[in-house]
Amino acid sequence: MLQIKFFHKVGSMNAPVTDSEKLIWRVLEAERPNISQVHEKSLFEANNSVLEKHKDSLMHRAAFVEILHILDSNRKSEAVKFIEETTNNTVPRNGALGPIREWKLKDCIAVHNLLETVLADQDAALRWKVRCADYFPYSTYFEGKHSSASPNSAFNQLRKNSENESVNHITSNGKLEAFKDLTI
């Protein structure tokens, strides 16, 4: 994927003017067929070729989308749809309690950042965040239902209850109401 980005950048540069720029340009063009991903293909074809080899990988799909956006920013909605159609399959794990999913938290965060910053689609980023909150219920980044970032998390409910209890146990005269029925 880096090779595709590189050749896209080179292709969008101004034509070489100086002798040294012309020499560098000729070397790059001469070496392009030897580079594994690019060969004699267009950059779109090279991008599609990489995806075909790794079509089930979340990170390869994200890289494909990023390159697609670089090559043709008008295909943004297609790129977002492609990410959103990705499935988080279960993988067999010996000795695991319950199903294990393929996606890693760090990869889902990277995809969220891609949607939010590179593609600049806040709605898609929000949908991704909600989706990943289900996969990672303890994640503070995605504000999963069991994370301390969620207002309804067990942690925050316990904190609210303890704050309310401490307030409810103090009477208007400053004495602790909780100890009134205490017997020794």
Mean pLDDT for all residues in the chain: 76
- pTM above threshold 0.85: no
DSSP string, 127-149: HHHHHHHHH-TT-TTTT-TTSTT
pLDDT at 111: 94
pLDDT at 167: 46
Residue 179 has pLDDT above 60, yes or no: no
In angstroms, the CA 58 to CA 48 distance is 15
pLDDT tens profile 21-80? 778 777 777 776 666 555 667 777 877 887 888 888 899 899 899 988 888 889 999 999
The domains of the chain are located at: 1-53, 73-148, 151-184
Residue 168 has pLDDT above 60, yes or no: no
Closest CA to 63 of 132, 55, 36: 55
Residue 126 has pLDDT above 90, yes or no: yes
